[in-house]
Amino acid sequence: MKPNFSLRLRVFNLNCWNIPYCSKDRVDRLKRLGDFLNVESFDLALLEEVWSEEDFETLRQKLLPTYPAAHYFRSGIIGSGLCVFSKHPIQELAQHVYTLNGYPYMVHHGDWFCGKAVGLLVLHLSGLVVNAYVTHLHAEYNRQRDIYLAHRVAQAWELAQFIHHTSKKADMILLCGDLNLHPKDLGCRLLKEWTGLQDAYLETQDFQGCEEGCTMVPHNCYVNQQELQPFPFGIRIDYVLYKAVSGVCVSCKTLKTTTGHDPLGGTPLSDHEALMATLCVRHSPPQDSPSLARETAEMPPLVTVLKEACMELGLGLAQAHWWLAFASCVVGGGLLFLVLLCALVAGGDSGQVALLLLGLSVGMVLGAGAVYLFHMQEAKGLWKTQAELQHVLGRAWDAQDMGSRPRPAQLLRQQLDNRAVEQ
C-alpha cells in the first residue's frame, strides 16, 4: 500500500420498521427510501427490519443499477429482517443466528420468531479487505424491568465473538445496526471492549443530526411518545462502529442522522433515524494487533465489564432455573390429574368431568413440558456464554500474571456453583 493511500467509504444504516400490515405508510416509505438511496449512491446500505422478502425484492429491483450486489439474511421463522445493498461486489457472505433471542410464548413481542442474527459481508476495496457486519439485537420493551437483559447481553457477547473470530485477516471492520442498547448499557460496553470497535458518533470530526446523536426521537411522528417520555432528546440505539485491524487507520469524516423527517420531504423514512457516515481509510505503519494489546495494557476495563456481564448472566440463569422448577411442578400437577382421571374412570365415571380432566392434564403436561424444554435450552445458552466470559477472565488474569491472588473467574465460578447448589 502506498503511503498516500486513501479510501472514502460512504455508509448508510436504517432500521426500516417495515412490518407488513402493521407499519404505517410502509409501501410509500419503502419507495422513498429506494429513491433516496439511489440519489445518494452510498458505497454500502445496511438495513434492518425489512421483514418481508417481497419488500427486499422490490428494493433490489429498484436499486440494481446503483447497487448491483444485494443480500437478504434469512433465519428463524419470519426472517432476520437484515439486508444489504452494495455498490461493490460482495466477495463472501456468512451469518450467525443468536443462540438466545427471547421467549416463544411472548408472541406479542415477536422477537423469538424472527431469529435475530448478525450478517457478514466481505468486500475487497482498493486492495483492502473490509468486513462489514449488520445486526439487530432483541428489543427492550421495559427498561425498568427488562426480562430480556440477560439475552441481550448474551447476544452482544456472541456478536463480539463472531466479529472477533471472523475478522482476524480483515484490514477494516464496520458494524452497523440497531443494537437496542444505549451507549452506556452493559451489552454496548462489552461489545466495544472485546472488539475494540470505535463509535462513529463519538469519534467523528463533523456531526450533523439529532441532539446527542439520538436515533429514536420524540418528534418523529411514528414514534410512541409515551415510551420516550424519560428521554427528552430521544435515545441512541442505532450505531455505526468501525475499527482498523492492520496497516490502515480509519477516521469518521462526517456523521449525519435524519432528524425525524424524510430528507427529501414527506413523513420520516422510519420510526428510527437513518445514520449516514463518511469514513476515511488511510495508510498507517503496522502496529501490534489491537486485540493483543488489549490483553495487557487495557485489561482492567475489560475485566470490569466481563465480571459485570458474568453477574448479569448469572441472574438470567437463576431466572431460567426458576422457570424450570415451575414447569416441573406444572408437569407434576398434570400427571397427578391423570392419576385422578384413571381413578375416576376405574370408578365407572367416564362423563364430562373425566373428559375435562383429560384435556386439562394433557394440556398441562404438554404445555409445561414445552416450557421446560425451552428454558433448559435457555439455561444451556446462558451457561455457555458465561463459561466463555469466564475463560476470557481467566486468560486476562493469566496475562497479568497475578500470581497467588484468587482469579476472578474462579471466584465467580464458586459463587455460581454455590447458587446452583442452593437451588
Task: Provide the annotated active-site residues.
Answer: 272
Q: Give the x-and-dash track for 384-403 against a second copy (CB under 8 A).
A: x--xx--x---x--x-----
CA atoms within 13 A on the CB side of 402: 14
With a CB cutoff of 8 Å and minimum separation 6, the contacts of 352 are none
Question: Cβ(155)–Cβ(127) under 8 Å?
Answer: no
User: Interface with a second copy includes 175 (CB under 8 A)?
Assistant: no
Q: What amino acid occupies position 188?
A: C
Burial 212-239 (b: 16+ CB within 10 A, else e): ebbbbbbebebbeeeebeebeebbbbbb
Distances (CA, A) of 417 to 317, 390, 411: 12, 13, 10
**Stretch binding a second copy (CB under 8 A), from 92-100, 219-227, 252-260, 304-312:** 92-100
Residue closer to a second copy (CB basis): 225 or 377? 377
Residue 251 binds a second copy (CB under 8 A): no
Shortest distance, CB of residue 199 to a second copy, whole angstroms?
25
Q: What are the residues whose beta carbons fall under 8 Å from the beta carbon of 229, sequence distance 6 or more?
A: none
Q: DSSP states of 123-153 as a string?
A: EEETTEEEEEEEEEPPP-S-SSS-TTHHHHH
Per CB under 8 A, the segment of 18-26, 75-83, 133-141, 253-261 that binds a second copy is: 75-83
Nearest to 109, CA basis, from 135, 143, 141, 62 = 141
178: closest CA among 205, 159, 194?
159
CA atoms within 13 A on the CB side of 27: 2
Q: Choose the stretch contacting a second copy; rule: CB under 8 A; options: 148-156, 260-268, 302-310, 353-361.
A: 353-361
- Asked if 373 interacts with a second copy (CB under 8 A), we say yes
Closest approach of Cβ 416 to a second copy, in Å? 14
- Select 36 or 372, whichever has its Cβ closest to a second copy: 372
Question: How many residues bind a second copy, per CB under 8 A?
Answer: 44
Query: In the stretch 94-133, what mask flags binding to a second copy with x, by CB under 8 A?
Result: xxxx-x-------------x-x----x-------------
Site for a second copy in 130-159 (CB under 8 A): none
Q: Which spans of this chain sit near a second copy (rule: CB under 8 A)?
A: 71-77, 79, 89-97, 99, 113, 115, 120, 161, 165-166, 168-169, 351-352, 355-356, 358-359, 373, 376-377, 380-381, 383-384, 387-388, 391, 395, 398
